[in-house]
A and B are shown apart, each in its own frame.
Chain A
Amino acid sequence: MTSSSGAHDTHAASGTGRDAADHLQGGGGPNPPQAPVAQPGESLAREAWRRLRHNRAAMASLVLLALMAVICIAGPWFMPWDLAEVDWNAFGVAPTLEGQHWLGTDANGRDLLTRTLYGGRVSLSVALVATLVSLVIGVLYGAISGYVGGRTDNLMMRFVDIMYSLPFMFLVILLMVVFGRNIFLIYAAIGAVEWLDMARIVRGQTLSLKRREFIEAAHALGVRDSKIVTRHLIPNSIGPVIIYVTLTVPKVILLESFLSFLGLGVQEPLTSWGVLISEGTSNMQGAPWMLIVPATFLAVTLFCLNFLGDGLRDALDPRTR
């Protein structure tokens, strides 16, 4: 009796048990495309990649971003002009296809395209490193703080509050005094500030997740705390984290330009998109290309990042097919 009812009731469960929401979402019905046979642990990443490939906007953004990175890294080697090389015959020349300066020159007669590409190297690397630093520290810190809870959480979050209340400029100047001027210092300083937000976001996520029954089930299975954090908590808070990362990158690029503008960041003749844009702004009326060129590079990058972030968030969620 029991075994025959077993066969019958799976049928009943798959038929009547699906609720309205399932019906609305599950356009694919009960037979979604079978995932390729994958090893446990790898499957999420591989599945995510498969889903990301179907997202045309995200893929286009990914290609564009890769292209942007390649031309910023390799481009300067093929340019006829150097970063600091002044063309004494062309001060503030507008973009032209005939001459040697396709995207014009700046007020000091330096090739704008060359400088924008060099600036891209700085901006992109600052964005990458500082965001990674903030991501790793912030996610771990926030997850641990939220998961352990109690007094530890209190202490850890008060430390974050203290860091928040330190004036950012003060921190940077302090670092400058101690370590001297260095581009890695910018990475460190920005990373040291950006992870605070991330930690708060992840902690909030963790607090709401840790009351969920699947975490409790993991406890009941005897899963170690470290595993619960890395296997259950962090993957499930990835959605807001990715959104926040895509917001952090532009913030970091702008922060860097702010520092450079104050003379605390990159130094002439080295430049960054932020610096170029702020220079461009002051020449906006007479020579709009000085603003438009670096701003276009920055805008395209940020635009792509947003699309990519959106696509990633969807791709990493198994609920979206």
Chain B
Amino acid sequence: MSTPLLEIDNLKVDFELPTGTVSAVKGVSFHIDQGETVALVGESGSGKSVTSTALMRLLPEMAKISGAIRLDGEDLTQVSASRMRRLRGNEFSMIFQEPMTSLNPLHRIGRQIAEVLHRHRGVSGSQARTRVLELLDQVGIPEPERRISSYPHELSGGQRQRVMIAMALACEPRLLIADEPTTALDVTVQAQILDLLRNLQKRYGMAILFITHDLSLVRRFAERVCVMRYGELVESGETAKVFNDPQHDYTRMLLDAEPRGSKAAVAEDAPVLLSGQDVRVRFTTKKRLFGKSDYFEAVRGIDLTVRRGQTVGIVGESGSGKSTLGRALLRLLKSQGQLRFEDTDITDFDKSRMRPLRSRMQVVFQDPFGSLSPRLTVGEIISEGLKVHFPELDRREREARVIESLEEVALDPAMRKRYPHEFSGGQRQRIAIARALVLKPDFLLLDEPTSALDRSVQMTVIELLRHLQQKYNLTYVFISHDLAVVRALSDTVLVMKEGQVVEQGSAESIFRAPQEAYTKALLKAAFLDTAA
């Protein structure tokens, strides 16, 4: 092909902040041909999203762009705002990561799609409606006649992303920019959306710029790949070539970042640390003054035994009740059924009776940004539990324990004087682990502790968790939707769906030879390279 559809030539983006200039993109050049899929890969902070927003000219005022972005030879950095508005949607359009927030909750989806048509094509009325129905059908929304008048909240995450795609495709753009379009979705839905995008690509012959941090998706989806780091393009080329023969250390590191290995087995007769029988959790959905209230049962009778030193992995998609089960095990939620911790029946324990046990069973949450109070220093956060459980310690002794646990998670103890926002996601997760460790617990509930982290950071956190488990003979319940991580860490695995256990067994057997259809679908969608 002679001229590429999109050509980016030495693109630089600087953010001019009151505190100085921050270069987010430092001279990136690549091109996309007609009908081609190019993946832009990088971890958070690599400048990949800034690059794509620069293409759309949607960057904030303080951003200074230099270099050229040529669409069919027309330099987008030079065109007027009104010309740009015409190009957006018409020539190229964009889908975002968050299907929850990128639709206006107050308008019916049909109207939102029709608006695009009206603005760019001047189509309205019944003509627009026909086209909207056609689009909804193409993106695989069942019963488009009925769905056209739904509000966004009535659709699932996957369906919302489909609507976003329908909006992006309304004017048959030649370039679609997909910024992490599947990151917020469950694995099975992820696969469907990617299939859909590929089919639509064939049909419309459009090019796709696919931005992601997930290399396993790239391999399946893109023809060429560009790897970004710190605002620079470190490597680019044919996907197969880059994957098979990476030239740059960083690419190699990324490719190598898939968690490996498996957990050393624990003796069969190790003492049972935590067990639950017929655990049920109910949420009241509607309360009535008189008569029965309405319930939703999130966990529906689960039996579970965790032996000392074991890791039990709980996998499932969102809404499967896995996190609810975890909280019930720690009695952070009210539940029915029997719960035992060692020899103590904790089924009916209230807050004050649970308190002495709390130091022995701790938790690490998913969101490294939400799980640390922004107004306390790291030292205060970590020492909070010490004040509760070891009130006899004076300040110096507490300080010593805090320093010890920070060293344990490989953080500089001098950092205890700082606030959480000064740390990266991986570091915050380490702080959360230190907060749990400082109490010297026996049992740790890990609720998606690595899901919000970049792959390379994920690896280091997993290594840390493994190391700590060996050192202190810790017992883990590891909740995750990431099957690769669960496989690397767990002794036994529970697959959950709709509050029930679909399948359980040793990690080995579940991943080698899944029995249930649902487990198989999960494994397939996760693109794990398992021998079938």
- A residues apposed to B, CB below 8 Å: 2-3, 5-10, 12-14, 16-20, 22-24, 26-28, 30, 32, 34-35, 37-41, 43-44, 212-214, 216-225, 231-232, 235-236, 238, 316-319
Contacts and interface: CB of A to CB of B under 8 A. Distances in A.
Interface string B449-469: 000011011011101101100
Given A10-B427, A18-B424, A26-B422, 17 more contacts: A13-B426, A17-B425, A17-B453, A20-B24, A20-B45, A44-B376, A214-B373, A216-B363, A216-B365, A218-B373, A218-B384, A220-B332, A220-B362, A222-B355, A222-B388, A238-B375, A317-B374
> Which of A37, A41, A219 has most chain B Cβ within 10 Å?
A219
A16 B456 contact: yes
8 closest Cβ pairs, A-B complex: A27-B19, A9-B460, A17-B424, A222-B358, A13-B426, A6-B410, A19-B44, A213-B371
A217 B457 contact: no
A303 to B, nearest CB: 24
Contacts of A39: 395
B252 interface: no
A30 B46 CA distance: 16
Interface string B1-45: 000000000000001011110101000000000000000000111
Interface in B352-385: 354-356, 358-359, 361-363, 365-367, 370-377, 379-380, 383-385
B395 A40 contact: yes
B332 A216 contact: yes
Contact of A318 (B374, B430, B466, B470): B374
Given A5-B460, A222-B354, A27 B388 contact: no
B388 to A, nearest CB: 5
B211 to A, nearest CB: 12
Contacts, number: 182
Given A16-B45, A222-B389, A217 B371 contact: yes
B206 to A, nearest CB: 27
27 contacts: A2-B466, A2-B467, A2-B470, A10-B430, A12-B456, A13-B424, A13-B430, A13-B460, A17-B44, A17-B453, A19-B424, A19-B425, A20-B50, A24-B22, A27-B20, A28-B19, A32-B422, A37-B417, A44-B375, A213-B370, A214-B372, A221-B362, A222-B385, A223-B388, A231-B384, A236-B373, A317-B374
A224 B425 contact: no
B488 to A, nearest CB: 14
Nearest to B357: A222
B193 interface: no
Contact of A6 (B359, B361, B383, B464): B464
Contact of A40 (B15, B330, B383): B383
B497 interface: no
B374 A319 contact: yes
Contacts of B366: 213
A23 B43 CA distance: 13
Contacts of A9: 410, 426, 457, 459-461, 463-464
Contact of A221 (B327, B388, B421): B388
B407 to A, nearest CB: 9
Given A24-B15, A221-B358, A223-B388, A318 B410 contact: no
Contact of A220 (B363, B370, B467): B363
Contacts of B379: 40
Nearest to B42: A16
Contact of B24 (A16, A23, A216, A238): A23
A217 B388 contact: no
Contacts of A318: 374-375, 419, 421
Nearest to B459: A9
A43 B374 CA distance: 13
A41 B376 CA distance: 9
A44 B381 CA distance: 13
B375 A217 contact: no
Interface string B318-361: 00000000010010100000000000000000010011101101
A18 to B, nearest CB: 5
B148 interface: no
Q: Which of A7, A222, A317 has the most CB of B within 10 A?
A: A222
Contacts of A5: 460, 463
A18 B44 contact: yes
Contacts of B426: 9, 12-13, 17
B432 interface: yes
B87 interface: no
A221 B395 contact: no
B121 interface: no
A221 B412 CA distance: 23
Contacts of A28: 19
Contact of B45 (A19, A213, A221, A224): A19
Contacts of A3: 467
B49 interface: yes
B260 interface: no
Given A44-B375, A222-B389, A223-B388, A16 B44 contact: yes
B385 A13 contact: no
B44 A20 contact: yes
A2 to B, nearest CB: 4
Nearest to A32: B422
A216 B355 CA distance: 14
Contacts of A12: 426, 456-457, 460
A230 to B, nearest CB: 12
Contacts of B453: 17
B477 to A, nearest CB: 13
B28 to A, nearest CB: 15
Contacts of A10: 410-412, 427, 430, 460
A26 B269 CA distance: 52
Given A16-B456, A37-B417, A319-B419, A217 B425 contact: no
Interface string B399-430: 00000000000111000011101101111001
Nearest to A26: B422
Contacts of A23: 15, 22, 24, 45
B60 to A, nearest CB: 9
B375 A235 contact: yes
Contact of A27 (B17, B351, B389): B17
